Chains A and B, each alone.
Chain A
Amino acid sequence: MKGREKKQSYGRLVWRQFRRDPAAMAGLAFVLALFALALLSPFLAGSRPIAASLGGDVVFPALSASHRAIWDQSGEGERGWSVYPPIRYGPTDIDLMANLESPSRNHLLGTDDRGRDVLARMIHGSKVSLSVGFVAVSIYCLIGIFLGALAGFYGGKVDMVISRAIEVMMCFPTFFLILALLAFLPRNIFMVMAVIGLTGWTGVARLVRGEFLKQRKLDYVTSAKAVGASNLRIIFNHILPNSLAPVLVSATFGVAGAILTESSLSFLGFGVPPPTPSWGDILSQSKQYIDFAWWLTIFPGAAIFLTVTAYNLVGEGLRDAVDPRLK
């Protein structure tokens, strides 16, 4: 069998199936658009120009910290032309004169209790949700794949120990454990990622373990052993590539879950520390003004909901595409 050619065609087959599912494609488009939004956020919302001429030089105050300092110190007289982002408010620009304004032409999605523009905060907040989702799930996939592969491949005592560890982690109420750990640890975005990652690996580990248990008895593994391949080589070069499809599916759902967890944490005040904007953080402010400030509740909540839905749609599409039995 020509291994490489077969692998390529499997990927293409999955993509072909995936493309046929309009809901999944819509989800994928939404996710890609969000990544674009997060990457382009400095170009979209900020109180300083993207590019400007300053005493004959071209500076980029929105993009570089040193240029920002130069721009802030410059006088009106030195400034020439400038190109501003379409939304001329930064995510942390406080304007107490304009606090809790409902959506208007000035502030398309209204302002919060410190007069910060909600749209600007939501655009910049997308970075937190997307990066936490992505990094946390990457962490737990690595842990889960490693432990699951060891347990499934070696079986016996190794499996016994790892299976117990999985059971132990499954017993804890994950969300409460995350809260408790974050209460003990210094508050920053990396801790949020690490704690979600360290508590979430059991699902992937069980999946990979199951795949390895199935695959290790197959002929191609026996023949790899027969030609003298080392265990590590068999695990990583032979079995792992064949068991990754379900992991990919579960990771996609996992990102949706991690985004939910991160926004719940921010909602409760345990997420990314202020003044960094995040969707859950805007929502948590809405608690105090719940009687009238509907814009603080509706918009960030809808952003979380749509993002989670989009990831779940991609996950569903992938699951149907990699599982030929369902077709």
Chain B
Amino acid sequence: MNLRAYLLHRLFLIIPTFLGITVITFLVIQLAPGSPAAMKVRMGEQGFVGDEATREIVEQTKALYGLDKPIWTRYGIWLKRVVTFDFGNSYKDHRPVLEKIAERLPVTLELNFISIFLVYLIAVPIGVFSAVRQGSLLDRAGTIGLFLLYSLPNFWVATLLIMFFGGGDFLDWFPVYGISSPGMESAVLLSRLGDHLWHLVLPVFCLTYGGFAALSRYQRAGMLEVIRQDYIRTARAKGLPEKVVIFKHAFRNSIIPIVTLLGYLLPGMFGGSVIIESIFSIPGMGQLGFEAVLSRDYPVVLAIATISAILTLLGLLLSDLLYVWVDPRITYEGEK
């Protein structure tokens, strides 16, 4: 199989996965009010809201998803909506869902790109270093430290940081609310930027530490595996300086699996954003999603789930292609 055939094959496989994503979100809609079972639940639960309001929501949902039609037609309607990126209007403020998401996306992307960048920047050197000095005191201490870091729940860390560094009875070093200080709109660009970045310190820290703890363990394992290979022994045997052996021969090969992990990091990052953004009141996708779940704003919830699933699908494809591109030894059939 040549590269083009492989590309076509991969692109073709996207179709069933995409359909699967729409089936899952479609099934979630079936749980939403409008489906008889869920309606009963909600009627009992929210009896106090008043029948008028409930009926209105139900009617709206019925019209939106064509709930009076048979299930196959309904799925067809949903599929068409997804393909044309028509996710309807938010229940809360009746604005188009896509508009709301477009508004919130940049902050989340900014947060996640900064933290992914930091994750790689910190994790790769730590991993390489502890593999090269395997068994040294620093390696062992680092391994334990990273292990503990990896097990720290990020919402706890966020709460602790707010408690100790965000005013209250302890230190008041960092702002803990939003992405800029009030009244900053009129300030000069540089101080506005500084203020903005200052707001991002704590949330970015919370999004970063777990990732680099996990990633540096991967990097260490990958590096250890490469160092044991015969060609490294050969390189050493022919008298190459250790620096060249490590950085030119070993490092380049050990980085390959780490690069491809990028695609897998993304969905996890978004999940983390939901908690961190709502703790720090950051107006991003995560907070939008959480608020939508709280207020049962179904169109927004479904749009976010569907769009991030599709984005992840593309991310996975990209990292597979990256894998083939950075490592010429990999054959295109080598899927297993």
Contacts and interface: CB of A to CB of B under 8 A. Distances in A.
Interface of A: 164-165, 167-177, 179-181, 183-186, 213, 256, 260, 263-264, 267-268, 270, 283, 286-287, 290-292, 294, 297-298, 301, 304-305, 308-309, 312-313, 316
A19 to B, nearest CB: 20
Contacts of A298: 160
B313 interface: yes
Contact of A213 (B150, B163, B336): B336
Interface stretch (B86-94, B130-138, B266-274): B266-274
A291 B166 CA distance: 9
Q: Which 10 residue pairs across A and B have the least CB separation, nearest first? A: A168-B20, A175-B271, A291-B168, A301-B156, A184-B31, A171-B309, A309-B151, A173-B270, A171-B312, A308-B151
A246 B316 CA distance: 25
A308 B147 CA distance: 11
Contacts of B310: 171
Contacts of B153: 260, 263-264, 301, 304-305, 308
Interface in B104-145: none
A172 B275 contact: no
Contacts of B151: 256, 305, 308-309, 312
Given A292-B168, A312-B147, A171 B278 contact: no
Interface string B145-185: 00110111101100110110001110000000000000000
Given A171-B312, A180-B28, A283 B156 contact: yes
Contact of B20 (A165, A297, A309, A312): A165
Contacts of A256: 151
B271, B279, B302 interface centre (most CB from chain A within 10 Å): B271
B316 A171 contact: yes
Interface residues of B, number: 53
B interface, by DSSP: helix, strand, loop or mixed? helix
A269 B85 CA distance: 31
A286 B159 CA distance: 8
15 contacts: A167-B17, A170-B312, A171-B309, A172-B309, A177-B305, A180-B293, A183-B296, A268-B275, A290-B163, A294-B169, A297-B160, A301-B159, A301-B160, A304-B156, A312-B147
Given A172-B308, A183-B294, A297-B163, 20 more contacts: A164-B20, A167-B313, A167-B316, A168-B17, A171-B267, A171-B310, A173-B271, A173-B309, A177-B305, A180-B28, A180-B293, A183-B301, A213-B336, A286-B159, A290-B159, A290-B162, A294-B163, A309-B147, A312-B150, A313-B147
A165, A172, A186, A313 interface centre (most CB from chain B within 10 Å): A172
B274 A176 contact: yes
Nearest to A302: B156
Contacts of B200: none
Nearest to A294: B163
A176, A185, A260, A291 interface centre (most CB from chain B within 10 Å): A176
B332 to A, nearest CB: 17
B321 interface: no
Given A177-B305, A184-B31, A172 B290 contact: no
Contacts of B290: 179, 268
A294 B148 CA distance: 21
B24 to A, nearest CB: 6
A285 to B, nearest CB: 11
A294 B161 CA distance: 12
Contacts of B20: 164-165, 167-168
A184, A287, A290, A294 interface centre (most CB from chain B within 10 Å): A184
B13 to A, nearest CB: 8
B308 A173 contact: yes
Contacts of B32: 184
B328 interface: no
B289 interface: yes
